[in-house]
Amino acid sequence: MGFARSGPTLSARVVLPRLTPVVRYNSSKSLEKQQLEAQDDLRRDWDARILSYEELKPKTQQPSPNKYLIDVREPDEVLQGSIPSSVNLPLSVLPNSLNMDAAAFKEKFGFEKPRRDQEVVFYCRSGKRSASACDVAKRNGYTNLYNYQGSWLDWTSREGVKPPSS
């Protein structure tokens, strides 16, 4: 069995345009970069000193009414545990709470509102929210601020505290 030709074959040459690589400029990247740079400038504005575990440990063993160790985690996170002598004031309510009068603050949170010149150490889970808390406090006139940068994760690893099972 063979192939039969049914008619003349036409051939056409197709000419394709020459392809050149095109780099597309994404203007939204520029905006994102500007926003990140603005956040970096804000972070550079934090004047809070960093507190190490070795510096914090004695403060927890001999608490002072003139010094505050504030846990800015949310209440459900605090259920996992907290650093001795700390009080909880979640970052989500910190800006408004620092503007409350002293009596309303004590009634709502159960401890005295720190004065603007008192030593305040903030911590959270990993050190990011505590850095933000320092910035919020600074913008509200607080001057003696510290960030326990290692925060809860550092404390538990050094104290041998095991996180609760999920």
60 within 8 A of 83, measured Cβ to Cβ: yes
* Residue from 89, 121, 124, 137 carrying the catalytic annotation: 124
Cβ neighbours for 91, distance < 8 A, ≥ 6 positions apart? 72, 73, 124, 129, 132, 133, 136
Helix (H) or strand (E) holding 69: strand 67-71
Examine the residue annotation and report whether 134 is marked as an active-site residue of this protein: no
Q: Residue 71: beta bridge partners?
A: 88, 123
Enzyme catalytic residues: 124
